[in-house]
Amino acid sequence: MSNAHISSMTKRLCGHIDMYSFSSKGRSGRRSDTLYATATVCGECRARLGRLVEHPDTGFFPVALPALAGRENAVSWAKDIRLKTLRKLGPVMAQLKKSQDPLATAAFAAYEMLFKIPTALFWIENRELPFDSAWVVFEVEHLMRTRPTSTVRLSGSSAFVYWSQADCSVIAAAKVAASAVIGIDVVPEAQTVFETQPPSPPSTSQSIFL
Ligand SMILES: [Zn+2]
Alpha helices per DSSP H over the chain: 26-38, 43-53, 72-98, 102-115, 120-125, 133-144, 159-166, 168-177
Residues 57-101: pLDDT tens digits? Answer: 888 889 999 999 999 999 999 999 999 999 999 999 999 999 999
Which span out of 29-33, 140-144, 154-158 was modeled with the highest average pLDDT?
140-144
125 φ, ψ (degrees, to nearest 5): -65, -25
Q: Ligand 1: distance of its center to the CA of 74 in Å?
A: 40
Q: Ligand 1: distance of its center to the CA of 49 in Å?
A: 10
Q: Ligand 1: distance of its center to the CA of 37 in Å?
A: 11
**Residue 205: is its pLDDT beyond 50?**
no
**Residue 156: is its pLDDT beyond 80?**
yes
Q: Ligand 1: distance of its center to the CA of 127 in Å?
A: 30
**pLDDT for residue 1:** 47
For residue 199, what pLDDT band results from cuts at 50, 70 and 90?
low
**Contact status, residue 104 vs residue 52, Cβ threshold 8 Å:** yes
8 φ, ψ (degrees, to nearest 5): -150, 160
Q: Ligand 1: distance of its center to the CA of 176 in Å?
A: 20
Q: Ligand 1: distance of its center to the CA of 99 in Å?
A: 18
Q: Ligand 1: distance of its center to the CA of 16 in Å?
A: 5
Q: Ligand 1: distance of its center to the CA of 13 in Å?
A: 7
**Residue 147: is its pLDDT beyond 90?**
no
Residues 13-44: pLDDT tens digits? Answer: 999 999 888 888 888 888 888 888 999 999 99
Q: Ligand 1: distance of its center to the CA of 18 in Å?
A: 8
Nearest Cα to Cα of residue 205 among 47, 48, 93:
93
Nearest Cα to Cα of residue 182 among 84, 106, 108:
106
Q: Ligand 1: distance of its center to the CA of 108 in Å?
A: 18
Q: Ligand 1: distance of its center to the CA of 42 in Å?
A: 4
Residues of the chain with pLDDT > 70, as a percent, come to 89
Q: How many CB atoms lie within 10 A of CB 90?
A: 20
